[in-house]
Structures are given as structure tokens and as C-alpha cells.
Amino acid sequence: GRKLERLARDVRALVVTQGAQGSRIFTDGKVHDIPIAAPERVVDPTGCGDAYRAGLLYGIAQGWGWPDTGRLGAVLGAIKIASRGAQNHRLERASVEARFRQAFGYSPWG
């Protein structure tokens, strides 16, 4: 029954996915509202949460800030939802960066 803001005080970051409404990342007393990256088509949501988490893990490993990290998760979720099955999509760095740039107007890779 505790509010998310209260739960967030007990962890380094609290990530709440909201499907088509994007996600929210609570960290360091701040809330980062992460918009979706529009998918090319919606085929199958199976594995979208895993794809989003993969983006988070990559961003964390790269030392990115939470907004960029969450946006990468959104891009990977958008790529995944356009294919059937949890692992039938293919990722290449250049195409992921292009999708990120298309969705958000910049690239966290520089």
C-alpha cells in the first residue's frame, strides 16, 4: 500500500513500465518520465519487458543517465513488439541508434 515515491527511497532506482504509456524511473528523489518509441507495427508484446530491461542494462553498463537509459529501453521494446515471439527480432547497433535518433531526435552514443 506504499506510494511509489516512498518505495523509491529504499532502492537506488525504481523502474515502472506502463506499456503504451511509457515508463517512469524514480531515482535520487527525481522522477524521469520516459516516453514510448513508436513501433513500426504492433505484432506481439511477448518479450517486450525483457527487451526494455536489456536497454536499461546496456545504458547502466555504459554509464548513461537514467533518461537515455530508459529511452533505449523504449526503443528496444518498440523493435521487439514488431515481431512475433520473444526472440525473433534482430538487433544491430547502427539500426538501434537510428531508431533512437528517429524517436528522440538525438543519439546517446554521440
* Closest listed residue to residue 4, CA positions, set 17, 90, 58, 42: 17
Q: Is 50 a catalytic residue?
A: yes
- Neighbour tally for 69: CB within 10 Å: 25
Give the pLDDT band of residue 97 (cuts 50, 70, 90): very high
**pLDDT level of residue 86 (50, 70, 90 thresholds):** confident
**Rounded Cα–Cα distance for residues 52 and 39 (Å):** 13
Q: Reduce the DSSP state of residue 14 to 3 states and report it.
A: strand
Closest CA to 23 of 79, 78, 62: 78
Q: Which residue has the higher pLDDT, 88 or 36?
A: 36
> What cell was used for 27?
531515482
pLDDT of 1 reads 87
The predicted structure's pLDDT at residue 85 = 87
- Residue 45 clears pLDDT 90, i.e. is over it: yes
From the candidates 10, 33, 44, 50, give the one annotated as an active-site residue. 50
**48-76: per-residue pLDDT in tens?**
999 999 999 999 999 999 999 999 999 99
Q: What is the pLDDT of residue 7?
A: 92
